[in-house]
């Protein structure tokens, strides 16, 4: 999948945020712009997953798991997009239950 160099660098930087911050957020409009499409297809998600696999391997962090996609709960309020993180990274915190 071919995207412009500047978009490629932005996308790589955003995916590296998963390594440094634990997750990242990408707005739908960013994905449409970066990939130069009007409709996101399975190949877009495959490309993102492959890019994540490369980054995780480079940093020897394969134990973080495959790339996980979660739709933003604020889709109607202008925050439409997806959160990305390694599938083995989330840890539920329910201190208030105990």
This prediction's pTM: 0.84
Alpha carbons within 13 angstroms on the beta-carbon side of residue 96 total: 1
Number of structural domains found in the chain: 1
| 16-49: pLDDT as tens digits | 999 999 999 999 999 999 999 999 899 999 999 9
pLDDT number for residue 10: 97
pLDDT in tens, 53-72: 999 999 999 999 999 998 88
**Residue numbers of the domain that contains 82:** 5-97
- Residues in contact with 82: Cβ distance below 8 Å, sequence separation at least 6, in sequence order: 25, 26, 28, 31, 69, 70, 71, 72
Answer yes or no: is pLDDT of 77 > 60. no
């Amino acid at each position: 999948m071919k995207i412009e160099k500047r978009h490629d660098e932005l996308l790589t930087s955003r995916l590296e945020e998963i390594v440094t911050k634990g997750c990242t957020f990408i707005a739908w409009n960013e994905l449409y712009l970066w990939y130069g499409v009007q409709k996101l297809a399975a190949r877009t998600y495959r490309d993102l997953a492959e890019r994540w696999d490369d980054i995780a391997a480079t940093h020897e962090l394969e134990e973080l798991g495959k790339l996980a996609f979660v739709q933003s709960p604020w889709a109607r309020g202008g925050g439409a997009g997806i959160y990305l993180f390694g599938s083995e990274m989330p840890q539920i915190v329910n201190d208030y239950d105990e």
